[in-house]
Chain A
Amino acid sequence: MPRASRNGSGRLLPRGVTLLALLVPVATIASLALGANALSPGELTHAVLRPDGQEGDVIVWSLRFPRTMLGLLVGAALGAAGVLMQGHTRNALAEPGLLGVSAGAAFAVVLSLRFAAVDTMLGMVAAAGIGAALAATAVYALARHSVHEGGPALVVAGAALTAFLGALTSAVVLLDAKTLDSYRFWAVGSLAERGQDTPAVIAPFVIVGLLLAAMNARSLDLLALGNDVAASMGLKVTRARLVGLAAVTLLTAASVAACGPIAFIGLLAGTLARALVGASWIRGVLVGALAGAVLLVGSDVIGRLVAGPGELQVGVVSGVLGAPLLIWVIRRRELIL
């Protein structure tokens, strides 16, 4: 007898999700093999299984492996954060880059570069975390009355905060040549040359953020039915909102500290996830993380290939490819919130 409920799936499109899951290893392998100096399958196998210091081994382990790991981590973080923010705000436009959270993280990082001479990744993650948390709290407070309905005040407040913090960031950066130098390198939105140990430094933050997001998704399933229903089912609504805020803060801070603010991936992954899995937020977070990872690593690989011998930054590629994809998705099915 079929189950009365599939426990949480609205309209899971198994093929779409399977395809996405298969694309993760494909993008990973492509990212390890392709670039200015493309490796043959033999060279790649050699580098992965029996590295002994050949040129290909060095390229893979010192350049492409950290870069690929970083792409997977940051992509998953941005994707999950996008899904979570869309769920909490009930707004299809919500993502860290559009609601001021990334801008808050970036501003805090710039302040720490300028005034505290922070020069470690851990220090930048900490600064970004404080900035992201303050910005998320501020945008929530500014638009509190419209947050639960996903009203326009939230988007306006987010856009205003993004513009305001962006202007402050420019002011700090432009007034100091040394900060401008570090900022330009950091803020281009690229996965290249981020340091070998950066993935390891941000990994704990991303993993804890993803776990919190997965736990929070169950609350989102109830919050989607309204605060009253959620509360009468025994959900502690304020706590659920705070866990969501903590998850978004960790995920955004880790990705912004590592790669600068990369807009659009969260929006794209979030929209894709919602279209694929419908009203289940647990699957939404999972698929959003997968989609973010695939989109970011995929965009990075394409950026290395199209502009050879140079590179296009990942933010440029994801914008060029992502916008048509987003429009295609929303034209095919109505947005689910």
Chain B
Amino acid sequence: MKITGLSLGYGERLIVDSVDLEIRQGSLTVIVGPNGSGKSTLLRGMSRLLRPRAGTVHLDGVDIADVSSTDLARRLALLPQAPVTPQGLTVGDLVARGRFPHRAWYQRWSDADDDAVRRALTRVDLLDRSADQVSELSGGQRQRAWLAMVLAQDTDHLLLDEPTTYLDLAHAVEVMSLARDIAHESSRTVVGVLHDLTLAARFADHMVVLSAGQIVATGSPDEVVTSALLAEVFGLRAEVITVDGAPAVVPTRHR
């Protein structure tokens, strides 16, 4: 995925200011940044939910502005932040809705569709819960069910907007390690937006730091997450320690 000179905004306000970014296949890239830095807006631009003011997004050499909605939905999936689950919807049916771009309105549910749904459910370990209602699941399971829906969409690119919102740490870890495994095992391009720096540093292969709509740092978690950057970008006094080979952010008590 290649982003060139991308500028995005709402109304008069410019939120993302000519961003250039190349995202590698088969890896998990996590975008971090302070509140209001434009992380989610960037993700919306990457998925064409927001038309750019300027710039382009290319997937495997194809400009996303040039493809049909269905074609784009077969190449790229987006899981929005805290999506709403309709009452009465079962896990299997939620995941089945991920097959929408693969089926024209006159086509019946096929074995290929069923396979994709089954694979997605198996991948997130919810196959035995497919007949249960989504509303009966725990928060972590529910997020896994939504993840299965975008997996069933069977795309090479997967965007996750704050996938750990409202999850406790154990479930957040579970979702992030699932996201990383998915990127590695199937050589998909997975991009997530997170605000928890330690969680991001723990699971990301690459990190992108956004501040006021511009990229201020990119690289491996080791390279990016430093005391100097935290102070400059987040206004945070913190020590960065290394646990298990990945940086962890520990805020200091005295300002």
Contact = CB atoms under 8 A, between A and B. Distances in A.
Contacts of B93: 5-10, 279-280
A10 B76 CA distance: 27
Interface in A1-50: 3-11
Interface stretch (B23-31, B78-86, B180-188, B235-243): B78-86
A11 B135 CA distance: 13
A265 to B, nearest CB: 23
A234 B249 CA distance: 39
Interface stretch (B53-61, B67-75, B207-215, B222-230): B67-75
A321 interface: no
Bin the interface of chain A by size: 20 to 34
Q: Is the interface of A mostly helix, strand, loop or mixed?
A: loop
A337 B100 contact: no
B78 A225 contact: no
B92 interface: yes
Interface in B93-109: 93-98, 100-101, 105, 109
Interface string A135-153: 0000000000000000000
B92 A4 contact: yes
A224 interface: yes
A226 B88 contact: no
B73 A4 contact: no
Given A228-B78, A229-B80, A235-B69, A4 B130 contact: yes
Contacts of A279: 86-90, 93
A10 B88 contact: yes
B114 A234 contact: no
Contacts of B84: 224-226
A151 B71 CA distance: 34
Contact of A10 (B80, B90, B98, B114): B90
A119 interface: no
A11 B87 CA distance: 10
A278 interface: yes
A232 B78 contact: yes
B133 interface: yes
Contacts of A10: 88-90, 93, 133
The listed residue with most B CB atoms (<10 A of its CB), out of A4, A10, A279, is A4
A221 interface: yes
A57 to B, nearest CB: 43
A224 B101 CA distance: 16
Contacts, number: 109
B77 interface: yes
Given A232-B49, A234-B72, A234-B73, A278 B89 contact: yes
Contacts of A215: 105
B101 A234 contact: yes
Given A225-B86, A226-B84, A231 B70 contact: no
A318 B114 CA distance: 43
A3 B121 CA distance: 12
A6 to B, nearest CB: 7
A7 B96 contact: yes
B97 A334 contact: no
A178 interface: no
A225 B102 CA distance: 18
Contacts of A3: 92, 114
A218 interface: yes
A234 B69 contact: yes
A78 to B, nearest CB: 23
B127 interface: yes
A10 to B, nearest CB: 4
A21 B117 CA distance: 31
Interface string B106-120: 000100011001100
13 contacts: A4-B130, A7-B96, A7-B113, A9-B90, A225-B97, A226-B83, A229-B83, A232-B73, A232-B76, A233-B98, A234-B73, A234-B101, A336-B87
Interface of B: 47, 49, 68-74, 76-78, 80, 83-90, 92-98, 100-101, 105, 109, 113-114, 117-118, 121, 127, 130, 133, 153
Given A234-B71, A234-B74, 12 more contacts: A4-B118, A5-B114, A6-B93, A11-B90, A222-B100, A225-B85, A232-B49, A232-B80, A234-B72, A234-B73, A235-B69, A335-B87
Closest 10 CB pairs of A and B: A234-B73, A278-B88, A5-B92, A10-B88, A5-B96, A279-B89, A336-B88, A232-B78, A234-B70, A4-B118
